[in-house]
Structure 1
Amino acid sequence: MALFNTAAQRKAGFRLTFISCLVAVIVLAMGVFTRLADAGLGCPDWPTCYGHVLWPSADHEVARANEAYPDMPVEHDKTWPEMIHRYLASSLGLLTIGIVIFSLRKRDPEQPMKLPIFILAFIILQGMFGMWTVTLKLWPQVVTSHLLGGFTTLSLLWLLTLRLNNQRWQLPAINEAKLQALKPLVLIGLVIVVCQIALGGWTTSNYAAIACPDFPQCQGAWLPPMNFGDGFNVNQHIGPNYLGGTMDNAARVAIHFSHRVGAMVTGLYLLFLFFKLRQLGIAPARKSAGVMLAILALQIGLGISNIAFSFPINVAVAHNLVGAFLLLSQVTICYLVFTAAVIRGGIRV
């Protein structure tokens, strides 16, 4: 079974929603690059950049901007990523408005309507988090929430794409018990991946990625000194500026170490889920399990490469993107498992 249904069997709006998914991937990649390039405060104001629609480029514009923001002078290698990210995110919002309008005008009882509206509302909230990321000077709680919001936006758009694709697994009634047993397991897999992504977001928000520069040990030890209390203190005060982070090394090590343990838990559970999916006894489930395992292996390889090659930005961006694809694989599996049709006497139910 191919991933996408034939054009005649898809529901209206599939193509626009799929394009929105592709744009969401680009937005997520640009947001990750902006964060990892320390360009999150490349523009200290919002929604403009030093008062400009794009960014100050002429010498007199830069001089006025530096005078207005003496503590945050213009750095051209940081202004353009931030503003391009903002405009890409805005374009995604416009595409989502188009999806909502299309759904409302279609007035088909089988056409999803609540989900597009929810996605639009969530993107508006995500835009607010983008503003707070700047106005609250990279406060880790907001930065992590903004990152998770990007992953959530992509996941919701992908879920809508799957619904409009209008394709279901079909399996014989003899395997129905296995299908029912699989439902809670795939939900647990989704939750574990989300938690691991949240740990990754907290790691980058607090500049803890480089806290363990060696592998498989950390700071030359299997259990280095760690401060979990400060590392996971979500009640830290706002400001004045979190660029570069404010935690001590022991706190950052605790965050990084937790992310590594989370990677082990995630890997082991998804390996278990791989075998459970294969036991369902249908080719599409085996194919989905194989894709999930391949993405997992690539993600683990990128995580180790990050450390081995001293955290190059291209590998770090790829690590985030493949994490997003791992999440999408879980969304896909959950959707297909919960919508699977059981064949009884030649009749699909």
Structure 2
Amino acid sequence: MPRLQPSLALGITLLALLVVLLGAYTRVTGSGLGCPDWPGCYGSIGVPDGAPAAVQAWTEMIHRYVAGSLMVLVTLQAWLSWRRSGWREPAALILLAVVTFQAMLGMWTVTLKVWPQVVTLHLLGGVTTLCLAYLHFRRLQANARPTGSPPRLRHLAWLALLALGVQIALGGWVSTNHAGAICPSMPGCGAVAWSALDFSNAVQLGQPVGPSYLAGNLGLNERAGLHMLHRLGAVALLVILAALAWGLYRRGLRRPAVAIVLAGLAQAVLGLLGALLATPIPLTLAHTGGAAVLALLLVEVNHRLNLAAQAADRGEAPARWLPRPSLLRDAP
């Protein structure tokens, strides 16, 4: 059984990534209300014949089927972990709790008619599930002793992960409020002047429950302000990522540093192309997938730096940073 857990954890990680991408596809194709009930579709376990908007309904149901499969695997992993060590290793149980909450958010997405608050939390929950699954996979591997790392670099890595979380939340808010294609120019926002951008009402956390938000309910200036707020957040995130990459590079960790820089720049390019080209579905999915990959990179770096701190606390001599397999390899 213990040998099964790392492979199962890796499978859960890959399936969690697929769920995130399917969720993004469901959102950008307007399929969030393809099935007006939950967990079935028009009272059926599948999409019944003659159902209106059958394509959107099947898109939504496929997302639910894959998410349900993820729930089954996470439950199995939690049971195996409980049998092995009880509460001493709660990571799998925490992951199960997060996935259970994700299922509730999926239900509320339908029953509350894609309320932006719930949809954005659902996206964040999906990325959180992915990161926790990968972290659990890494912890199940046998790790060599890492090298030491300065506390400031650890703090910067945590800041980068937090900033990415905020940026993902803003991206989810942009998507669910249909503000992705509202600014088809650079550096400004097309026909909306800077003076007309409504930043103060761009993030309305008090939007009421009741109306359908399938097409978004914000005004033009509010959507434009939200879009530009997301762009400004991207600039801030790139600065933080550059600082972290420089810190890693100076420590001789060139490959993690280069990977972070390339992932960050790719995200910026995909975001800008999506805005300029009116958010085509392939670019939108690539942008979502890029955010997920960047999150995994930052989880990996934080994991390594935390191991380094623990080794230093134990007074262990520096060694190679981490063994393989992992998302990143050490610099020679």
Fold conserved between structures, TM > 0.5: yes
Say if 2:1 is the partner of 1:19. Answer: no
Mapping for residues 136-215 of structure 1, pairs under 5 Å: 136-168=112-144, 170-171=146-147, 176=148, 178-215=149-186
The offset of 1:296, in angstroms, is 1.1
**Matched residue SS, 2:194:** coil
Mapping for residues 77-96 of structure 1, pairs under 5 Å: 77-96=55-74
Mapping for residues 97-116 of structure 1, pairs under 5 Å: 97-107=75-85, 113-116=89-92
Query: 1:53 aligned to 41, 45, 48, which one?
Result: 45
Q: Matches of 1:252 and 1:221 in 2, distance apart?
A: 10
Residue 280 of structure 2 aligns with which residue?
A: 312
The offset of 1:108, in angstroms, is 8.4
Query: 1:295 aligned to 248, 263, 270, which one?
Result: 263
Say if 2:92 is the partner of 1:121. Answer: no
What amino acid maps onto 2:142 in structure 1? N
The offset of 1:170, in angstroms, is 2.6
The offset of 1:107, in angstroms, is 3.2
Please say which structure displays the higher CA radius of gyration: 1
Residue 28 of structure 1 aligns with which residue?
A: 20
Which stretches in structure 1 are left out of the alignment for 5+ residues?
A: 1-9, 63-73
Deviating 4+ runs (over 4 angstroms): 342-348
Deviations 1:206-249 (A, max 9, x none): 11111212222212567251222322121121122111011100
Q: Matches of 2:204 and 2:276 in 1, distance apart?
A: 29
Say if 2:293 is the partner of 1:325. Answer: yes
TM-score w.r.t. the length of structure 1 is: 0.85
Residue 233 of structure 2 aligns with which residue?
A: 262
Q: Matches of 1:345 and 1:51 in 2, distance apart?
A: 60
Preserved contact between residue 178 and residue 223 of structure 2 (Cα < 8 Å): yes
- Paired positions, count: 316
Q: Matches of 2:263 and 2:145 in 1, distance apart?
A: 21
Q: Matches of 1:120 and 1:345 in 2, distance apart?
A: 34
What amino acid maps onto 1:32 in structure 2? A
Q: Matches of 1:237 and 1:347 in 2, distance apart?
A: 55
Q: Matches of 2:60 and 2:192 in 1, distance apart?
A: 38
Which stretches in structure 2 are left out of the alignment for 5+ residues?
A: 320-332
Preserved contact between residue 211 and residue 252 of structure 1 (Cα < 8 Å): yes
Preserved contact between residue 146 and residue 318 of structure 2 (Cα < 8 Å): no
Deviations 1:77-111 (A, max 9, x none): 201110000010000000001111111222389xx
The offset of 1:279, in angstroms, is 1.6
The offset of 1:52, in angstroms, is 1.4
Residue 324 of structure 2 aligns with which residue?
A: none
Q: Percent identity of the aligned residues?
A: 35
Preserved contact between residue 159 and residue 332 of structure 1 (Cα < 8 Å): yes
